[in-house]
Amino acid sequence: MIITVTLNAALDKTLEVPNFTPGRRHRTVDQTTMPGGKGVNVARAIKRLGQPVIATGLAGGATGTRIVEALNDEAILNAFVRIREESRTNTAVLDPTTGMHTEINERGPAVSEIEFELFVEKLLYLAKGASICVFAGSLPRGVHADVYAILIREVKRLGVMTMVDTEGDPLRFAVRAEPAVVSPNEPEAEELVGHEFNDLDDRAQAVAEITRLGASEAIMTVTDGCYAQVLEEGGQAAYRVRVSEQEPRSRIGSGDAFLAGYIAARYGGRSAVDCLRYGVACGAESTQHFGAGVLDPGKVERLLGEVEAERLGVGAEIG
Ligand SMILES: Nc1ncnc2c1ncn2[C@@H]1O[C@H](COP(=O)(O)OP(=O)(O)OP(=O)(O)O)[C@@H](O)[C@H]1O
Ligand SMILES: [Mg+2]
């Protein structure tokens, strides 16, 4: 079983608004509402890829009830701890004329100590039957920035492989807890490492640097694939994985789809480089759908043929 942890679950509302202009009144031509938060998106994609997954985390108020009901409607196994304060509703405006999207994310609810203790108890119970646990997304108010780090250490003790996709201080702390995998996008990785990346060398060195900070493997996603420092039988290896850029319908959640693909492949026992290639194909395919974590496994397989992986050595010249 794979567990996804979403401490700041949300109801994601996407409004399709042609010619969106701030300060004007608009009508939507299409709209969708789905449960979200990164861990939930990852769970949706893993389920679609056919691997067993359960989504846990915190959900509160009437919005929390809608999140859980909508997960049930999608037949995504879930075990959320209910909290008193209302979960977020996040609104994204997608302009089909320009392809631009604008996101407005509500401030998350505050969590009490008792509610959080209940969550930890639930997570450790679930972890007894799991082999992979993913911590993804932002934190609600009331929990310290090192909670992912604390949970990683606890879950690792049970022999579960841990993966993290978050940013800022929660990521900084989490990396030091030595998770198996972290998967920031480029701006998140730049913030973690502390400088901007300009070329291939910078990016290859960044993923290596992140492993020195504590993660066993580091993957940095970029628009056309990823850079990764992974463990193989022979030891550490660096890869640049590429896919041709797709004309996106919506890029929201492509990082979540990447991570889901990587995890699904890993759960299926594939090699590190195959997991990276599969993740990149999933991220790319998901851009063809509205809705985070939505992808078509058949089309992922077709795209996989176009995904190239290059092993980076000293003095590599792959851009
Ligand atoms: N236009 C695109 N064409 C092909 N692949 C794409 C495109 N956009 C994103 N991807 C794929 O999706 C993956 C994740 O992309 P990105 O780094 O943008 O994620 P992200 O910023 O973490 O997204 P989010 O956090 O919103 O889910 C990449 O590995 C990339 O291969
Ligand atoms: Mg991301």
Assign residue 29 the CATH number of its domain: 3.40.1190.20
Q: Report how far ligand 1's centroid is from the alpha carbon of 14 (Å).
A: 18
CA 187 to ligand 1: nearest atom: 21
Neighbours of ion ligand 2 (CB under 5 A): 185, 255
Residue 23 domain boundaries? 2-312
Residue nearest to atom 31 of ligand 1 (CA): 225
Question: Residue 236: inside a domain, yes or no?
Answer: yes
In percent, how much of the chain has pLDDT > 90? 90
Where residue 315 falls among pLDDT bands split at 50, 70, 90?
Answer: very low
Residue 278 Cβ < 6 Å to ligand 1: no
Question: Residue 317: inside a domain, yes or no?
Answer: no
Residue 222 Cβ < 6 Å to ligand 1: yes
Question: Residue 319: inside a domain, yes or no?
Answer: no
Residue 253 Cβ < 6 Å to ligand 1: yes
Residue 103 Cβ < 6 Å to ligand 1: no
Q: Report how far ligand 1's centroid is from the alpha carbon of 257 (Å).
A: 8
Where residue 316 falls among pLDDT bands split at 50, 70, 90?
Answer: very low
Residue 105 Cβ < 6 Å to ligand 1: no
Residue 245 Cβ < 6 Å to ligand 1: yes
Q: What predicted TM-score, i.e. pTM, was given to this entire model?
A: 0.95
Q: Write the pLDDT tens digit of every residue in 187-243.
A: 999 999 999 999 999 999 999 999 999 999 999 999 999 999 999 987 899 999 999
The confidence score (pLDDT) of residue 252 equals 85
The ligand minimizing its distance to the Cα of 286 is 1
Question: Residue 118: inside a domain, yes or no?
Answer: yes
Question: Residue 223: inside a domain, yes or no?
Answer: yes
CA 221 to ligand 1: nearest atom: 17
Q: Report how far ligand 2's centroid is from the alpha carbon of 165 (Å).
A: 7
Residue 183 Cβ < 6 Å to ligand 1: no
Q: Please state, rounded to an integer, the average pLDDT across all residues of the chain.
A: 95
Residue 284 Cβ < 6 Å to ligand 1: yes
Residue 36 Cβ < 6 Å to ligand 1: no
Question: Residue 318: inside a domain, yes or no?
Answer: no
Question: Residue 155: inside a domain, yes or no?
Answer: yes
- Which 3-state string (H, E, C) describes the chain? CEEEEECCCEEEEEEECCCCCCCCCCCCCEEEEEEECHHHHHHHHHHHCCCCEEEEEEEEHHHHHHHHHHHHHCCCCEEEEEECCCCEEEEEEECCCCCCEEEEECCCCECCHHHHHHHHHHHHHHHCCCCEEEEECCCCECCCCCHHHHHHHHHHHCCCEEEEECCHHHHHHHHHCCCCEECCEHHHHHHHHCCCCCCHHHHHHHHHHHHHHCCCEEEEEECCEEEEEEEECCEEEEEEEECCCCCCCCCCCHHHHHHHHHHHHHHCCCCHHHHHHHHHHHHHHHCCCCCCCCCCHHHHHHHHCCCEEEEECCCCCCC
Q: Report how far ligand 1's centroid is from the alpha carbon of 184 (Å).
A: 11
Question: Residue 71: inside a domain, yes or no?
Answer: yes
**Number of domains, the chain:** 1
Q: Write the pLDDT tens digit of every residue in 22-58.
A: 999 999 999 989 999 999 999 999 999 999 999 999 9
